Amino acid sequence: MYALGVAIDATLITLVLALAAFGLAIIFGLIGVINMGHGAMLTAGAYITWVCQTNGVPFLLAVLVAAVAVAVIGLVLEHVLIRHFYDRPFETLLLTWAFFLITTEVIKIIFGPEFRSVTNPLPDAITIGGIHVPAYRAAVALFALALIVTSAVVLYRTSLGIKIRGLIQNRQMAALLGLNIGLTYKLVFMAGCFMAGLAGGLITPMLSIDPYIGNVYLVRSFFVVAVGGVGQLLGGTMIGSFLIGGSETIFAVVSEQAVAQTIVFALAILVLRLRPRGVLTPR
């Protein structure tokens, strides 16, 4: 029973982290933009959700509004800045970092630094085999699983997916074969921003909404993508999230929380040393 509890916890943590990291996995993994603005996009999604809910919009609609709004912000960012720098990763790192700093300050100016909270739409716990599981967290975990699997299907089973994968494998060849590279990049970037906004909205009932809410997940998300393997959208995100998030609760069974977190990051570094391109990418 104790083991079942640990297993459920590890699953929940893995899937919620996978959700938070997914937008980065798309942008960093598919088009190679080191998006340091990922945390700010989560934060923006959280605040937009909060504003909508405070003004009477139902929670799920509020989350959807947040995701669309962040996607639009992403579209503007991509069109004005990012698209000119696709072949210069270091510059995009600086640009997206600047985006993070500016967004965080703008949020502080508009909304102030106070902690905010939204009403949890599913405030109760459900019982599975004698284990109490927070209903909302479980729902988010299931949703994350469905979302990531669906995205993988799009990537591996549709013509759009073939185009995107072709683009990743060989950009010049894809262009020569008549693929509209600019548009595909734009779509992928927007999709990543949409996912970040969505995740930002969905984590609000579990976390404190403050201008730094996205930071909690920024470093973890990068680890997830790096450990899982850049471009490994389904398996990589899942394995990375398990190693960075879910495994922590298992280590916490035998050690203190602070030690468990250290072990996890040490393990991540070890994995990267042995498999520099991620667990799922062949060396």
Residue 55 beta carbon to other proteins: minimum distance, rounded to whole angstroms? 16
Strands annotated E in the chain = 125-128, 131-134
If the CB atoms of residues 87 and 124 are measured against other proteins, the closer one turns out to be 124
Q: If 0-12 CB within 10 Å is exposed, 13-18 middle and 19+ buried, where does residue 113 land?
A: exposed
* Distance (Å, whole) CA 15 – CA 218: 16
Residue 128 beta carbon to other proteins: minimum distance, rounded to whole angstroms? 13
Residues with Cβ within 8 Å of residue 193, at least 6 apart in sequence: 23, 27, 41, 70, 71, 73, 74, 75, 77
Query: Does 136 participate in binding other proteins (rule CB under 8 A)?
Result: yes
Binding range to other proteins, per CB under 8 A, among 54-62, 76-84, 112-120, 268-276:
112-120
Among 54, 117, 158, 169, which residue sits at the site for other proteins (rule: CB under 8 A)? 117
Q: Which of residues 220-239 bind other proteins (CB under 8 A)?
A: 220
Q: Which residue has the tokens 């920024």?
A: 218
Binding range to other proteins, per CB under 8 A, among 1-9, 30-38, 190-198, 233-241:
1-9
* Distance (Å, whole) CA 109 – CA 114: 11
Query: Does 110 participate in binding other proteins (rule CB under 8 A)?
Result: no
* Distance (Å, whole) CA 262 – CA 236: 22
Residues within the interface to other proteins (CB under 8 A): 2, 5-6, 9, 12-13, 16-17, 108, 112-117, 119-120, 123-125, 132, 134-137, 203, 205-213, 215-217, 220, 245, 248-249, 252-253, 256-258, 260-261
